[in-house]
Amino acid sequence: MASVDVVDETFLAVPPGVVAAAFAPPASWRAFWPDLELDVYADRGDEGLRWTVGGALVGTMEVWLEPVLDGTVVHYFLRADSPTGSFTPRDARREVQRRQLDAKSVSLGLKLTLEDGRPAGCPPAG
């Protein structure tokens, strides 16, 4: 039997506080991960959040926000099992692929929204 273990990293050219604000409201969690029930066990402010996960998966999830240069690296970690026990290896591979795509979709969606058209290599406005 196998578990789901997903790691993702994406650079956003905005400060950690801006990214943290996007993750702060529980409504955003439901939008990003509609099939997961999340309960915060560590609110790290501008460094991110840690959740226990229920619903479609059971385990833990974290978004760690690391300041890098003039932006933020969003580190995403998900470690979970099926709510009915462990996945078969085949089902685990499918779930990992699905969750990897979901993680990148969340990060790239935030990148488009929060960077607001900032061209690569250009300083932030203001």
All structural domains of the chain with their residue ranges? 4-115
Whether the per-residue pLDDT at 99 is higher than 90: the answer is yes
Q: What is the pTM of this model?
A: 0.90
More confident call, 92 vs 74 = 74
What are the pLDDT digits (tens) for 5-45?
999 999 999 999 999 999 999 999 999 999 999 999 999 99
β-bridge mates for residue 81, sequence order? 58
Under 8 Å between Cβ of 22 and 112: no
**Is CATH 3.40.50.1010 correct for 4-115?**
no
Q: Which conformational region is residue 90 in: left (phi greater than 0), alpha (psi within -120 to 50 degrees), or beta? A: alpha
In whole angstroms, what is the distance from residue 91 CA to residue 111 CA? 30
75 — pLDDT class (breaks 50, 70, 90)? very high
Task: Summarize the confidence of residues 82-104 as an average pLDDT.
Answer: 90
Average pLDDT score, the chain:
91
